[in-house]
Amino acid sequence: MLTKNEENKDMPVILERTFKSSIEKVWPALTDIQQMRQWYFPQLNEFRPERGFETQFDVHHEGTDWLHIWKIAEVAPLRRITIEWKFGGHPGTSVLTFELIPDGKRTKLRLTHSGLRSFMPEKHPGLAHENFIKGWTQFMDEGLKEFLEKH
């Protein structure tokens, strides 16, 4: 039986933000490697928003190297992209979905990152639920927001 705290940690990270940009501007920020490198992961060396596409890249964070392993699970252009996400040398697979919802001249972006408990954060504290909340909040509220405002 999971404690209440453990149950909360099994919940997906879900963030919604509305940007003052059209879907036609937000979609490439999420799927075009040149744009992704500017606000998201400069370490990306290859990315294509095509179902089945796989890529890997290292991210050095707070003294640790994290091998990110991505496989595109679903693509609905201008609407949704889903990525299966693993970390090399660690158990588990998570699923990240960016969903775009039109809102006039603005775009609502719903980020859902589920399966985080499969990373066994009790053994791998760097993969704790709260770290994903913190990271995604920073990516959405600073990285992507600032990128879209400049472009």
Distance from C-alpha of 6 to C-alpha of 4, rounded to nearest angstrom: 5
pLDDT tens digits, 24-56: 999 999 999 999 999 999 999 999 999 999 999
Residue 4 CB contacts under 8 Å (≥ 6 apart), including other chains: none
pLDDT tens digits, 76-105: 999 999 999 999 999 999 999 999 999 999
Q: Give the pLDDT score at 107.
A: 98
Q: Give the pLDDT score at 10.
A: 75
Which has more confidence, 21 or 64? 21
**What's the pLDDT band for 64 if we cut at 50, 70, 90?**
confident
Residue 145 φ/ψ, nearest 5 degrees: -60, -50
- Cα distances (angstroms) measured from residue 88 to each of 6, 11, 57, 65: 24, 23, 10, 10
Domains in the chain, ordered, with CATH?
Answer: 12-150 (3.30.530.20)
Runs of H (alpha helix) within 80-122: none
Residue 146 CB contacts under 8 Å (≥ 6 apart), including other chains: 39
pLDDT tens digits, 99-150: 999 999 999 999 999 999 999 999 999 999 999 999 999 999 999 999 999 9
